């Protein structure tokens, strides 16, 4: 039955994440953006809070409710976290983007082996290495190679734009086992931190999300055990499916992050109009801004619903490529509109923390129209799903 009310677990997840965003993230936001560093204490606080208190409560409710809802709980939390600070949200300890391919492509033994390290209460991260200097959305052109040599895979190649790449304990790396197979030759490998031949290159300087670590990784005859290949060698398309399956799960989460930033900017602009309007500000202009914000508020709700729907489908195991792309494309465009509107509205105001945050969100926003597939790629995915029998190159 169609229902837009949050269950107990969903409400608990939202409340909890909001509290964390308010108490742990907002106070650090501007400083971390300026220094491009995150204090160690933040990681420990997040680690402690994640495993205790309200989050555990939310998970318990979730189990009580007897339906799969981890994707929904995740997007609900992500929106709140990004409302706090999207860069800090990407740095929260945990397997992060490494989890979806391990869960979808790993054997039970591999899942236990790789994910158990995240349960010891220490600080651990995971990363996903897909993008290369020569390829982004076109994963079939991947040039990183994996060659089986006895009991080991030997990986050679160059990956970049890897979130948490330098601090990750496990890096799920996509590489081709046979270039002539195109995308069907692509396989996911788990590369542990400290493996000889895994070299951390430069840390990127970015327009926004500056506190988020974006690393370059070089694989120079990097040898990993044979058992670190996710999915068997015989399974054709498995690797590509893992890459794409990961995107179907992560695109709604990126959408949720975008919604969170958009909402933060929208709220700040509304507050500015209420509280900081300079004396002599023309009333007709204020009314025009209020109209524009009203519209924006409605668009934020639509973006959120698209995100929720895509996550809900993932939980129900309903194929959701099209809907995941819709949520990402819509939210990606919206967050730019929302932050740009907030910048324009507050432009005449004095410099204030609120204005600095709005400027930061404006810088953070642009990448949401790019990573996990650009706006154009999302439209391509949607169009190909709408017209399965037509070749849309």
Partner 1 sequence: MLDFAPTEEQEEIRKLAQSIALDHLRPHARKAETERDSPNELRLTLAQTGLTTPFPEEYGGSGPLEAVTYSLIAEELAYGDPGLALNIVGSLMGPLTVWLAGSREQQERYLPPFGNSTSGYLQRGSLAFAERTGGYTLADIHLQARRTSDGYLLNGTKRDVVHGQHADLRVVLARLAEHESESAEGKLCAFVLSDAQEGLSIQAEEEKLGLQAAPSATYLFNQVQLPAEALLGEAGSSGVVRAATLYQILRAAIACGTARAAFEYCSAYARERIAFGRPIVSYQGIAFIIAEMAMKLDAARLLTWRAACSWDRGEADETLIYEAECAQRQAVKMAQAATTDAIQVMGGAGFMQDHPAEMWMRDAAAME
Count of residues near partner 1 by CB under 8 A: 40
CB of 198 or CB of 296, closer to partner 1: 296
Instruction: Give the whole-angstrom CA distance, residue 89 versus residue 299.
Output: 23
* Choices 245-253, 282-290, 293-301, 337-345 (CB under 8 A): range interacting with partner 1: 293-301
Site string for partner 1, 40-69 (x = CB under 8 A): -------------------------x-x-x
CA proximity to 239, closest of 173, 295, 291: 173
Whole-angstrom CA distances from 40 to 84, 123, 240 are 18, 10, 36
**Is 168 among the residues that bind partner 1 (CB under 8 A)?**
no
Instruction: Give the whole-angstrom CA distance, residue 237 versus residue 177.
Output: 12
CB of 185 or CB of 332, closer to partner 1: 332
Instruction: Give the whole-angstrom CA distance, residue 203 versus residue 207.
Output: 13
Instruction: Give the whole-angstrom CA distance, residue 358 versus residue 264.
Output: 8
Instruction: Give the whole-angstrom CA distance, residue 237 versus residue 68.
Output: 27
Instruction: Give the whole-angstrom CA distance, residue 83 versus residue 227.
Output: 40
Cβ–Cβ < 8 Å for 227, 110? yes
Catalytic residue check, 372: yes
CB of 161 or CB of 330, closer to partner 1: 330
Whole-angstrom CA distances from 249 to 57, 97, 160 are 24, 10, 21
CB contact burial 138-176 (16+ within 10 A = b; e otherwise): ebbebebbbeeeeeebbbbbbbbbbbbbbbbbbbbbbbb
**Is 6 among the residues that bind partner 1 (CB under 8 A)?**
yes
Pick from 312, 361, 368, 371 the residue near partner 1 by CB under 8 A: 312
Pick from 272, 330, 362, 368 the residue near partner 1 by CB under 8 A: 330
* Choices 83-91, 283-291, 339-347, 383-391 (CB under 8 A): range interacting with partner 1: 383-391
Pick from 326, 342, 343, 367 the residue near partner 1 by CB under 8 A: 326
Rg value, the chain, Cα: 21
**Is 306 among the residues that bind partner 1 (CB under 8 A)?**
yes
Pick from 125, 272, 308, 362 the residue near partner 1 by CB under 8 A: 308
CA proximity to 188, closest of 218, 146, 152, 157: 146
Regarding beta strands 126-129 and 170-176, do their DSSP bridges make them parallel or antiparallel, or are they unpaired?
parallel
Pick from 30, 218, 356, 382 the residue near partner 1 by CB under 8 A: 382
* Choices 47-55, 118-126, 167-175, 305-313 (CB under 8 A): range interacting with partner 1: 305-313
Pick from 302, 319, 348, 353 the residue near partner 1 by CB under 8 A: 302
Task: Please list the residues that pair with 170 across neighbouring strands.
Answer: 126, 192
* Choices 203-211, 247-255, 266-274, 308-316 (CB under 8 A): range interacting with partner 1: 308-316
Cβ–Cβ < 8 Å for 183, 238? no
**Is 374 among the residues that bind partner 1 (CB under 8 A)?**
no
Per the structure block, which two tokens stand in for 370? 């790019």
**Is 299 among the residues that bind partner 1 (CB under 8 A)?**
yes
CB of 316 to partner 1, least distance (A): 8
CB of 177 or CB of 311, closer to partner 1: 311
* Choices 121-129, 195-203, 296-304, 340-348 (CB under 8 A): range interacting with partner 1: 296-304
Residues binding partner 1 (CB under 8 A): 1-7, 10, 65, 67, 69, 72, 298-299, 301-303, 305-306, 308-309, 312-313, 322-323, 326, 329-330, 376, 378-380, 382-383, 386-387, 390-393
Active site residue ranges: 372
């Amino acid at each position: 039955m169609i229902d837009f009310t949050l269950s107990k677990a969903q409400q608990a997840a939202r409340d909890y994440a909001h509290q964390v965003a308010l108490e742990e993230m907002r106070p650090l936001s501007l400083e971390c953006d300026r220094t491009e560093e995150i204090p160690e204490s933040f990681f420990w606080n997040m680690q402690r809070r994640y495993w205790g208190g309200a989050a555990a409560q939310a998970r318990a409710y979730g189990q009580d409710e007897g339906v799969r809802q981890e994707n929904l709980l995740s997007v609900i939390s992500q929106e709140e976290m990004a409302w706090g600070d999207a860069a800090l949200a990407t740095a929260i300890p945990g397997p992060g983007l490494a989890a979806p391919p391990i869960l979808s492509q790993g054997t039970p033994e591999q899942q236990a082996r790789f994910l158990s390290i995240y349960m010891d209460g220490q600080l651990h991260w995971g990363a996903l290495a897909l993008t290369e200097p020569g390829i982004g959305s076109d994963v079939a052109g991947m040039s990183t190679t994996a060659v089986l040599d006895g009991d080991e895979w030997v990986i050679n190649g160059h990956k970049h734009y890897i979130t948490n790449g330098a601090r990750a304990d496990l890096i799920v790396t996509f590489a081709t086992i046979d270039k002539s197979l195109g995308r069907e030759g692509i396989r996911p490998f788990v590369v542990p931190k400290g493996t000889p031949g895994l070299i951390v290159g430069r840390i990127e300087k970015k327009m926004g999300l500056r506190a988020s670590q974006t690393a370059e990784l070089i694989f120079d005859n990097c040898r990993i055990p044979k058992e670190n290949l996710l999915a068997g060698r015989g399974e054709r398309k498995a690797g590509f499916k893992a890459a794409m399956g990961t995107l179907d799960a992560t695109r709604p989460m990126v959408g949720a992050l975008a919604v969170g930033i958009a909402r933060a900017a929208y709220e700040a602009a509304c507050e500015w109009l209420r509280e900081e309007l300079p004396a002599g500000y023309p009333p007709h202009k204020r009314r025009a801004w209020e109209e524009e914000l009203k519209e924006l508020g409605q668009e934020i709700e639509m973006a959120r619903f698209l995100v929720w729907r895509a996550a809900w489908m993932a939980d129900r195991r309903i194929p959701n490529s099209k809907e995941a792309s819709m949520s990402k494309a819509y939210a990606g465009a919206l967050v730019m509109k929302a932050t740009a509107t907030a910048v324009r509205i507050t432009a005449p105001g004095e410099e204030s923390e609120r204005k600095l945050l709005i400027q930061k969100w404006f810088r953070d926003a642009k990448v949401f129209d790019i990573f996990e597939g650009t706006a154009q790629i999302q439209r391509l995915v949607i169009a190909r799903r709408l017209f399965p029998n037509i070749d849309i190159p």
